[in-house]
Amino acid sequence: MAKIKIDKLPLARKERPGPSNRFGGFDVVLFIILLIFALLIIFPFYYLFVVSITPQEIYVNNPLTLWTPKITFDAYKSVFNDSRIWGGLKITLILLFGGTLYQMFFTVITGYALSRNNWVGKNFVMNMILVTMFFGGGLIPYYILIKTLGMINTIWVMIIPGAIDTFNMLLMRNYFASLPKELEESAKIDGANDVQIFVKIFLPLSLPMLATVGLFFAVGNWNSWYNGMLFNSSQNLKTLQQVLQDIVYTPSSGIPNPGKIRIDDESMKMAAIFFTIIPMMLFYPFLQRYFVKGIVVGAIKG
Amino acid sequence: MEKLLIKRKQSYAYSFKRRFSASKFLLLMIIPAIIYYAVFCYAPMYGVLIAFTKYSPKKGIMGSVTDNWIGFDNFKFIFNYPSFWTAFKNTLIIGSLKIIISFTSAILVALLINELRMRFFKKGVQIIVTFPHFLSWVVVASLFRLTLSETGGISYLVQQLGGQPLKFLSDGKLFLSLLFSSDVWKEAGWSSIIYIATMAGISTDLYEAANIDGASRIQKIWHVTLPGIRPTAILLLIMSVGGVLSAGFDQIYNLTGSLNNAIVLDSVQIIDVLIYQGTFGGGGLTMGQTTAIGLFKSLVGFILVITTDRIAKLCGERGII
């Protein structure tokens, strides 16, 4: 069976033959513009990292610290000593693993069912789902619903309402639909039942797309704060992002006080931000192609 | 003839039955989805009825509908409520500017990356510019707030060069520019991907023909690349029009530090902020009134999508509906 190569996406057009194919002034201009754009994106990360390892008194004298003469990990120490961070990390990790699995399960089976032809009521269900992409009840009825379901101030409110993401579900559906129909037919002739066809044939063939959708969900869960902010008020249900909000949005005094670690130090804020993005920074370069695959497939077929 | 019709009906009934039993497994699989969409999408749609009531939490939705029905009073109230029109105006301005800016910036980035001939640099740039999309607005807002704050590094640099401290977070107009620039910073790279993929699909024959005609690179971009991505661009534009009234609650909530920045909040008071504050932030609106605002927003968004779709179709483009 032909292996689906995910890294062979047609992202870069083949170099075209022609008289103007030499590296010229135009390319230099393009290069410089893109370089500036890339540097503008990198700059805040770089700046925040440098400040997070700079002693507070140096930062206060020169807020534009792009290079630190003295490295200190005090800010990280105060982040690690902050119980809120660990509490937030715990909730976020529950969402990351539990939530992602739960969402994957429901999204994938729905996508599979909608990718198969010829079952009673398929068009009706499909239209019912598509309508929700363009029209919704709004915040207040949703709030009342969550309240009626008794999910206020529980961790469930950050998991259960996310069962199916329509966009990801359509990604899965399109992928399943793109696999050859003969697979199903020949498996049936060999005596496989519906469950076996799904689990043993379609799921293994869809691993690249499962990875993409899983990653989309995982990122969403890592970044989750909105439902928590809206529905939960208890401190020990706060996600990492909510804890970050608490830390960063509290105004700092801006007064240097050497020797003592202050909770509201600028560098501590920056260390806290860095703490929440470091996993993404480590994994993203290697996973980028899966994300790209998802959006390309989704938009071309969806 | 009649016999044939009956036969066809019978065979239809037969095939219906057969199809039903043949698709038992699929029907079983779709049940959770039906329940999910019914509960989390359609129940709130039913809940919009409270926009026509004086909602009382004790009575619930049904009780409020039967006992406290007040017709269009909530709508009359919000249409006479000055803050609503301010919010509506802000939302339209911010929302449409955002659509225009993100639309053009995405195509611009895509063109730059597509035209660039250094493969290695291209890959690296793509990884860098798509990364911020995956950060939450909490993180992005924090980065911008700390980098651009009055006591932060950039402001310090400007002061060293003899300028005034930057007031991105305490000046309404500057804050708006922060809104747009952070949006481009976060999303332009990611949104460009879809255009880059479309550009890769443009037939090389067209470029070769242009080469033979002696077209310059700019001319090739203008006459081949841009027309090549037109259908995709229009599709994405129609899709984004529906969100014009959303205008980014996430972003505004975080850039104002949990809506705590009263100085700039006036200039970015959008409909979603009004609904949120009106209900949860002591804004003094009843749930019926904020639901009415929400319903109005949904309806206008829906109408906008349909209208844009029609216009696109009239202009000979492929629509979405």
pLDDT in tens, A30-59: 999 999 999 999 999 999 899 888 887 788
pLDDT at B86 over 60: yes
- Min distance B114 CA to chain A CA atoms (Å): 7
Chain A residues closer than 8 Å to B309 by CB: none
- At B316, the pLDDT band (50, 70, 90 cuts) reads confident
Domain with CATH 1.10.3720.10 in chain A: 83-235
Chain A residues closer than 8 Å to B211 by CB: 16-20
pLDDT at B263: 81
Overall fold of domain B82-285: MetI-like fold (1.10.3720)
**Could A269 and B217 be called an inter-chain contact, meaning their C-beta atoms sit closer than 8 Å?**
no
- Min distance B167 CA to chain A CA atoms (Å): 15
Q: Return contacts of B32-38, CB within 8 angstroms, 24+ apart.
A: B32/A106, B32/A109, B32/A110, B32/A163, B32/A164, B33/A106, B33/A109, B33/A110, B33/A113, B33/A125, B33/A129, B33/A164, B33/A169, B34/A125, B34/A128, B36/A106, B36/A163, B36/A164, B37/A128, B37/A129, B37/A132, B37/A164
| Mean pLDDT in residue range A20-27 | 72
**Could B40 and A37 be called an inter-chain contact, meaning their C-beta atoms sit closer than 8 Å?**
no
Overall fold of domain A83-235: MetI-like fold (1.10.3720)
pLDDT at A272 over 50: yes
- Min distance B3 CA to chain A CA atoms (Å): 26
pLDDT at B178 over 60: yes
**Could B298 and A138 be called an inter-chain contact, meaning their C-beta atoms sit closer than 8 Å?**
yes
pLDDT at A226 over 90: yes
Domain boundaries, chain B: 82-285
pLDDT at A40: 95
Computed over every residue of chain A, the mean pLDDT equals 84
Q: Is A13 on the interface with B (CB under 8 A)?
A: yes
pLDDT at A22 over 60: yes
Q: Is A2 on the interface with B (CB under 8 A)?
A: no
pLDDT at B61: 83
pLDDT at B266: 85
Instruction: Select the more confidently predicted residue: A282 or B162.
Output: A282
Q: What ipTM score was computed for the predicted complex, to two decimals?
A: 0.88
Whole-angstrom distance, CA of residue B107 vs CA of residue B294: 32
- At B141, the pLDDT band (50, 70, 90 cuts) reads very high
Which B positions 153-212 lie with beta carbon below 8 A of chain A? Answer: 153-157, 160, 185, 189-190, 193-194, 196-197, 199-202, 204, 207-208, 211
pLDDT at A149 over 90: yes
Percent of chain B at pLDDT exceeding 90: 49
Give residues with Cβ within 8 angstroms of B277, minimum separation 6.
B259, B283
pTM equals 0.88
**Could B41 and A137 be called an inter-chain contact, meaning their C-beta atoms sit closer than 8 Å?**
yes
pLDDT at A135: 84
pLDDT at B321: 65
Owner of token pair 């003899």: B162
**Could A64 and B154 be called an inter-chain contact, meaning their C-beta atoms sit closer than 8 Å?**
yes
